[in-house]
Amino acid sequence: MLKQPIFIVGHPRSGTSLVRSLIERSEHVWSIGREGKPIWERDSLHPGRRGWQSNALDASDATPEVAARLNADLLAAARRPGAEWSVADKLDHLDFLRSQGPQPYYYDVPLKALQERFPGDLPEGPPTTRDGGELDEITPFCFPPRGERPTEAELADGIRLVEKSIQSCFRIPFLQALYPDARFVFVVRDPRTSVGSLMDAWLNPRMFFSYKMPVPLRIQGYSDVFPWGKEWWNLSLPPGWQDWVDLRLAEVCARNWLAHNRAVLDAASALAPTGNSVLVRYEDVQADPVAAMEAVAEAADLPFSDAWGRRDLPVVMTQTTPDPEKWRRHESEILPVLPLVRDLAEEAGYDVR
């Protein structure tokens, strides 16, 4: 069974993968090692089965049947996090996989390293099922945890699973109904770097495709740039997305930041009195990972791990070296949309004037 699962909740490209990787250094947690979309959105919980409204779920969706299915799937996927994959490990594994057909350029490895190991033309467009539909997992595909599965005795005693999914921003009541003893780690990031990173994600010709939409997209700077841009939505699906399909890409990304972080800050505020949650800023994790993990360990009810005394940070889910100034590549497009997010940014502790 699961006990006190730890859910990491934050905007796409906010640093949730980094925080998850740090928590996974604890010997007291288990992990599925990747986004949970293939588990959470199976069957009736997929937005396509719910009228394409959004990724939002509430307590009424946590039926006994849904709870039993999710419990079984999460437990089946649980592994000890084990040793972190190095870039060289990933490349060697992809060398093996490529002989069986999978395309290495859709995996979570820096592009430069992929090009050096696998020279040739770069593929473009979303990877799809044989009939052209969406895959369960959003690219870049992750590498599975390298550790062991829990034993029957460990399962009977209860395991602590750490899980992060970008869609969870809109599912807090659902998760609370499923797991009343859950702990939450909320992550926020400066809207300028977030919006810039989101734009990079939408403009990546191989990554972050999530949903093949039932309505045409006319997002300026995306739908008119790529042939797939008229039908493929990237990353999570916030409430209100239907009103964004004719906007410019920078505004779509700004409204994404706004929708996700409004949900995150509201949930963090509501849960703060319980002591079962913590709100961390990506920039603080970068600047002082030890202090950040002390706060996370207290809220998550985890013994402080010796591994968290290290200041090194894993590099996860990135195609280029992290740089807080990368957003300036899109500066002329981002600056006009900052007024949309300014009030909430200030609430989260960011000055974007």
> Which two three-digit tokens encode residue 115?
């090009």
**Amino acid identity at 261:** N
* Rounded distance between C-alpha atoms, residue 271 and residue 73, angstroms: 27
For the chain (length 353 residues), average pLDDT per consecutive 10? 95 92 91 89 91 96 96 94 87 91 90 93 92 90 88 94 94 97 97 95 95 97 97 96 98 97 97 95 92 92 80 60 72 93 95 85
pLDDT tens-digit series, residues 125-135: 999 988 889 99
CB-CB contact of 187 with 15 (8 Å): yes
Percent helix, percent strand, percent coil in the chain, to nearest 5: 45, 10, 45
Exposure string of 141-175, with b = 16+ CB inside 10 Å and e = fewer, is: bbbebebeebeeeeeeeebbbbbbbbbbbbbbbbb
* Rounded distance between C-alpha atoms, residue 131 and residue 239, angstroms: 28
Query: In the beta sheet, which residues pair with residue 161?
Result: 30
Other Cβ atoms within 10 Å of 241 Cβ, number? 23
Answer whether 0.95 is exceeded by the pTM.
Answer: no
Q: What values do phi and psi take at 219, rounded to 5? A: -80, 115
Angle at Cα 140 formed by Cα 115 and Cα 278, nearest 5°? 130
For residue 127, which of 210, 56, 3, 20 has the smallest C-alpha distance?
Answer: 210
Q: What is the pLDDT of residue 144?
A: 82
Angle at Cα 188 formed by Cα 187 and Cα 194, nearest 5°? 125
**Cα(first)–Cα(last) distance of the chain, in Å?**
48
Q: What is the pLDDT of residue 84?
A: 78
Angle in degrees, 0-180, between the axes of helices 249-271 and 338-347, rounded to the nearest 10: 20
Q: What is the pLDDT of residue 146?
A: 83
- Runs of H (alpha helix) within the chain: 16-23, 37-40, 64-77, 87-98, 111-117, 152-157, 172-178, 191-202, 249-271, 282-287, 289-300, 331-334, 338-347
Q: What is the per-residue DSSP string for 135-204?
A: -SSPSSBPPPP-SPPPPHHHHHH-B-EEEE-GGGGG-HHHHHHH-TT-EEEEEE--HHHHHHHHHHHHT-
Ramachandran region, residue 158 (left: φ > 0; alpha: ψ -120 to 50; beta: rest): left
